[in-house]
Structure 1
Amino acid sequence: MKKAGIIMIIGSLLLLGLFKFPLWNIMLGAPQYPEPMGMDIYITGIQGVQEFDIQNIDGLNHYIGMKTIPKPEEMWEFNVFPIVIGGMAALGVIIGILGFLGKVNAWWFLGWLVFMSVLGVLGMYDFNAWLTDYGTNLDPNAIMKMTNPDGSPMSYKPPLFGHQKMLNFDVDSYPAVGAYLMFAGMSLTLIAFFIGKKEWKPKYVK
């Protein structure tokens, strides 16, 4: 399974792109802001797209009672995610090497992919839960209290994926470069599985 093992190794290493590139991006645009403000979400923390974006977003959020954007030390995820991604990349490389040497079969590749997919779903669930808390758990003493037509408090939860209109702001939330690298890496491991199934030659004990 030499070819499959090499593809598995390359796919696993692509996860390391998450240490360099953002996983997700959220942009806010409004008529009074010629240049949209944005947040790049990395596995190690949140940064502004432009130098003062985080400061400006926090300033706006203060008026409606939203929390400030958390620093890395304020969210356990930013400590755990790098360990998980680094561990999965290392595990994938080890499985790929063992496959290259013919020590494991292609089902190990699929097992890694399923495990990584489960972790990805859990990560997205956690991200959505944070967005929900961020946009709905508002300070009751905020300067501005916006309500829906039925009188209930308005939610400022950004969309997990896609576009949403919030007051006079257009909010866009989409995967960034790191997410595409991760998807490409996982796709390669799936390809490695199918190639490995064809390459695998079990050794029978006579």
Structure 2
Amino acid sequence: MKKAGIIMIIGSLLLLGLFKFPLWNIMLGAPQYPDPLGMNIYIQGIEGNEEFDIQNIDGLNHYIGMKTIPKAEEMWEFDVFPKVIGFMVVLGVIIGVLGFIGKVSYKWFLGWFVLMSVLGALGMYDFNLWLIDYGTDLDPKAIMAYTHPDGTPMTYKPPLIGYQKMLNFDVDSWPATGAYMIFVGMLLTVVAFFVGKKESKQVA
């Protein structure tokens, strides 16, 4: 399974892009901001699209009682996620090498894909929980407390994915380069599974 093993190794190594490129991007545009404010979410922390974007977003959020955007040391995820990705890269490369030399079945490639899918789903679930907390746990003493027509407090959860109008802001939340690298990497491991299956039949 030499070809399958090489594809598996390449797919696993693509996850290393997460240490360089953002996983997710959230942009906020409004008439008073011709250049939208944005933040890039990496597996190691959150950074602004531009130098003062985080500071400006925190300033706006202060008026409606939202928390400040957390620093890396304030969220356990930014300590755990890099370790998980590093482990999955190493595991994938080991499986790919063992497949290359014929020591493991092609089914291990699919096993890696399933494990990565579960971890990815848990990561997205955790990210959504953070967005819910970020947009709903508001300071009741905020300078500007908006309410719905029925009197209930307005919340400001950004969308997990897609577009949403919040007050006079247009909010866009989409996967970034790192997420696409994960997708391609995982797709390659599925390709490796089918190539390995075909190679195994040829040997048999």
CA distance in structure 1 between the partners assigned to 2:7 and 2:13 by the alignment: 10
Tell me the number of residue pairs that the alignment of Structure 1 and Structure 2 aligns: 204
**In the alignment, what sits opposite 2:80?**
80
State the identity %: 78
SS of the equivalent of 1:159 reads coil
Tell me the equivalent position of 1:28.
28
- Where in structure 2 are the equivalents of 1:78-117 lying within 5 Å? 78-117=78-117
Q: Alpha-carbon deviation of 1:149? A: 1.4
Deviations 1:68-111 (A, max 9, x none): 00000000000000000000000000000000000001110000
Partner of 2:10: 10
| CA distance, structure 2, for counterparts of residue 184 and residue 32 of structure 1 | 38
Whole-angstrom CA distance in 2 between matches of 1:202 and 1:163: 49
Q: 2:159 corresponds to which residue?
A: 159
CA distance in 1, matches of 2:160, 2:151: 25
Q: Is 1:42 equivalent to 2:32 in the alignment?
A: no
Corresponding position of 1:119: 119
Moved over 6 A (4+): none
Partner of 1:145: 145
Q: Return the alpha-carbon distance in structure 1 between the equivalents of residues 149 and 111 of structure 2.
A: 49
The normalised TM-score by structure 2 is 0.98
Which amino acid in structure 2 is aligned with residue 26 of structure 1? I
CA RMSD of aligned residues (A): 1.2
Question: C-alpha displacement at 1:201, in angstroms?
Answer: 5.7
Q: Matched residue of 2:147: which SS?
A: coil
1:157-191: CA deviation from partner (whole Å, max 9, x where unpaired): 00000000000000000000000001000000000
User: What CA distance in whole angstroms lies between the structure 2 residues aligned with 1:181 and 1:150?
Assistant: 44
Residues 24-83 of structure 1, C-alpha deviation per residue, up to 9 Å, x if partnerless? 000000001110000000000000000000000000000000000000000000000000
d(CA) in 1 for partners of 2:122, 2:154: 27
Partner of 1:190: 190
Distance 1:149 1:160 in 2: 25
Unaligned runs of 5+ in 2: none
Corresponding residue of 1:135: 135
Q: Which letter maps to 1:83?
A: K
Task: Name the TM-score, length of structure 1 as normaliser.
Answer: 0.97
Unaligned 5+ residue runs, structure 1? Answer: none
Corresponding residue for 1:55?
A: 55
